Amino acid sequence: MRGRAALPRSNGELVFDAPWQGRAFAMAIGLVDALGLRWDEFRNRLVAEIDAAPDRPYYESWLAALERLVADLQRGHQGLRGTPAHGSGMVGRFEGTGGSENCMSGRG
């Protein structure tokens, strides 16, 4: 990714200041991959979240974009490639696992 949605890096390596950031990163990658979505489905939401709150820390915007993508999937948002018509499927596997509360643990 480039521009506003570029991942924070140091010497070419991804930078996570807290464990929840790495988990949120992995959840987004995993969800997009598991459902066969286009990466732009997530990236466009991330750019919108960054634009909406430019002073918010990067991975908080990342998490907000992930939450928006999951909400859209649950509603069966039209236009998401790989989305079941009823909005369930893989998303249901994440329900009851703590979701964002789990990935926020240890956040300081």
User: What is the per-residue DSSP string for 49-87?
Assistant: HHHH-TTS-HHHHHHHHHHHHHHHHHTT-TT-TT--TTS
> Distance between CA 40 and CA 25 in Å, rounded?
15
**pLDDT tens, the chain, 108 aa long:** 445 667 788 878 888 999 999 999 999 999 999 999 999 999 999 999 999 999 999 999 999 999 999 999 988 865 565 544 434 444 444 444 444 443 333 444
Pairwise CA distance, residues 103 & 55, whole Å: 21
Backbone phi and psi for residue 9, each to the nearest 5 degrees, phi listed first:
-135, 155
> What residues does each domain of the chain span?
36-88
- Give residue 106's pLDDT: 42
Q: What is d(CA 74, CA 77) in angstroms, rounded to the nearest whole number?
A: 8
pTM over 0.75: no
What pLDDT does 33 receive? 94
Please state, as a whole number, how many other Cβ atoms lie within 10 Å of the Cβ of residue 29. Answer: 13
